[in-house]
Each structure stands twice: as structure tokens, then as C-alpha cells.
């Protein structure tokens, strides 16, 4: 198992590691700062460097076959041999924008739930500060989008701290907030469950990377509201300053 450093510290940009395996899919390391795509968050890109070579990581993901965390290389990169000591470094600007976007999305879901009682039905992020989130709402309008945008920006500017914690599974499943966000659907093998708490705004089980406090997100714009069916309405957001 790769030691997944960013699950504990999202601000690590680089680490030393050893290549444990090279497969058709890419390079497996004993430890890494790269985030494997999941939970609507894109996988990291970056570079592996070693004595005499380097390779560009075009995407990071979990292998569907083995479940291993794989650094997928760009077509023009050759993989380092198993046993090679490497320095792994993520494209930090890209990742930091994604972290800000992810924290914005959780804040949005907390506000829509608290003020309008609507749960999230889905969500996704892109690199570059764009994201969408779907809600169990019967109707949505541009006015609603503007109202939510104002509330979201006020909340973000209040600079709420963001906490990462690991809760024993039994304790997580007894928690109302976490049940709301469907922590009970997390595979039974996952214990403890990782929790992201945006103090006073939103608390949910989540594997992604987030900023330390909401002021770091900056301002957010609601760019589109649209219907995706009955009780399923979508909001598209973007960071004003990605």
C-alpha cells in the first residue's frame, strides 16, 4: 500500500519515495504526495525525478484491477526502474486551485442544505477553478443562483477553519451530518473514515484535498443554474480568481 501523504497534509508539494512497481498503467511508489482522482476531484499531475532522469505524470488514479495508486506517465516519458529512489513533485498551482474549488463546493453544499434543506445528488471539479454540483431541489432559477452566490461569498470571507480528522467507522455512522452525506455508503473496509469539517458550514466524509480556511478560496461566482430532471438541479460555479 502506498502511503498517501496528502490525505493527512494537503500542502505537501514534494516527497522522496522509492519505486515499488511499474505496470502498463504507470508507476507505483511506496509513498506519494500525488492525489489519485476520486470523489469528483481530478488526479494530480507533476514530475518524478531521479538520478539521471525524469518523467512527467499526466494523471494519478487507482488501478481498477489492483486498487493501487498509480502515477500515469505522459506518452513521451520513460518510467524509472523498480527500486529507483525518486523525488515526486506535484504541479502545485494546479492542485492549489483544485483545493480551493473543492472547499468552495463543500461550502456550497453546506449552505444549500442549511438554508434550503436540499441534499447533494452529485458533483464534479475540473482543473482551472470550475465545478458543478447537483441538488435535490424541485426548482432552480438565476435569482436563486445569485442569492446562493452572495451567501457563499459572505461565508467564505468569514474565514472558517477547515479541519481534517479520521473517525472510527462506528462513530462516523452515528453522526447525523455524516449520515446526511451518505457516509454509510462508504465501503465497509474503510475504517477510520476521513472527515472534512468546514467549521460552522459543512461537515462530511471525504477523501479530497482542501485549503486550511475558507478565505483562501477567494470569491466564487455561480455561472449557471440548470435543471437535470425532477428533484435534480445543477449549479455551475467558478473561482473568480483561479
In the complex, minimum distance from the CB of residue 210 to Zn ion, in angstroms, rounded to a whole number: 8
In the complex, minimum distance from the CB of residue 169 to Zn ion, in angstroms, rounded to a whole number: 18
Sheet-wide strand order for 130-135: 120-126, 130-135, 233-239, 220-227
In the complex, minimum distance from the CB of residue 83 to Zn ion, in angstroms, rounded to a whole number: 35
Give the span between the Cα atoms of 197 and 179, in whole angstroms: 14
Query: Which lies closer to Zn ion via its Cβ, residue 44 or residue 206?
Result: 206
**Which residues pair with residue 124 across a beta bridge?**
132
Query: Which lies closer to Zn ion via its Cβ, residue 80 or residue 208?
Result: 208
Query: Which lies closer to Zn ion via its Cβ, residue 17 or residue 105?
Result: 105
Using CB under 5 A as the criterion, which residues of the chain lie in contact with Zn ion when the complex forms? 206, 208
Retrieve residue 194's grid coordinates: 476521513
Query: Which lies closer to Zn ion via its Cβ, residue 19 or residue 98?
Result: 98
Query: Which lies closer to Zn ion via its Cβ, residue 25 or residue 206?
Result: 206
Dihedral sign for Cα atoms in the order 104, 109, 113, 116: positive
What count of other Cβ atoms lies within 10 Å of the Cβ of residue 170? 10
In the complex, minimum distance from the CB of residue 106 to Zn ion, in angstroms, rounded to a whole number: 6
Q: Which residue is nearest to Zn ion (CB)?
A: 206
Query: Which lies closer to Zn ion via its Cβ, residue 145 or residue 208?
Result: 208
Nearest of 208, 211, 209 to residue 220 by alpha carbon = 211
For residue 229, the 8-state DSSP code is S
In the complex, minimum distance from the CB of residue 39 to Zn ion, in angstroms, rounded to a whole number: 5
Helices (DSSP H) in 42-122: which residue ranges?
Answer: 92-116
In the complex, minimum distance from the CB of residue 7 to Zn ion, in angstroms, rounded to a whole number: 13
21: which residues sit within 8 A by CB, 6+ positions away? 27, 28, 68, 82
Nearest of 166, 135, 199, 156 to residue 7 by alpha carbon = 166
Amino acid at each position: 500500500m502506498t502511503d498517501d501523504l496528502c490525505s493527512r497534509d494537503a500542502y505537501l508539494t514534494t516527497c522522496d519515495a522509492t519505486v515499488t512497481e511499474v505496470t502498463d498503467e504507470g508507476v507505483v511508489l511506496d509513498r506519494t504526495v500525488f492525489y489519485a482522482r476520486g470523489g469528483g476531484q481530478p488526479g494530480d499531475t507533476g514530475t518524478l525525478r531521479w538520478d539521471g532522469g525524469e518523467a512527467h505524470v499526466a494523471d494519478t488514479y487507482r488501478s481498477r484491477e489492483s486498487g493501487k495508486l498509480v502515477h500515469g506517465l505522459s506518452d513521451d516519458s520513460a518510467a524509472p526502474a523498480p527500486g529507483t529512489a525518486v523525488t515526486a513533485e506535484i504541479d502545485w498551482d494546479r492542485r492549489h486551485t483544485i483545493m480551493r474549488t473543492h472547499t468552495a463546493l463543500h461550502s456550497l453544499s453546506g449552505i444549500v442544505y442549511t438554508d434550503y434543506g436540499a441534499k447533494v445528488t452529485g458533483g464534479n471539479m475540473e482543473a482551472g477553478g470550475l465545478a458543478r454540483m447537483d441538488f435535490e431541489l424541485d426548482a432552480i432559477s438565476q435569482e436563486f443562483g445569485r442569492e446562493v452566490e452572495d451567501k457563499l461569498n459572505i461565508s467564505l470571507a468569514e474565514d472558517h477553519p477547515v479541519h481534517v480528522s479520521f473517525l472510527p467507522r462506528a462513530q462516523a455512522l452515528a453522526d447525523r451530518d455524516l449520515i446526511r452525506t451518505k457516509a454509510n455508503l462508504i465501503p465497509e473496509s474503510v475504517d477510520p473514515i476521513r472527515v472534512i469539517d468546514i467549521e460552522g458550514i459543512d461537515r462530511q466524509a471525504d477523501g479530497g484535498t482542501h485549503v486550511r480556511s475558507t478565505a483562501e478560496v477567494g470569491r466564487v461566482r455561480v455561472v449557471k443554474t440548470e435543471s437535470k430532471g425532477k428533484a435534480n438541479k445543477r449549479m455551475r460555479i467558478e473561482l473568480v480568481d483561479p
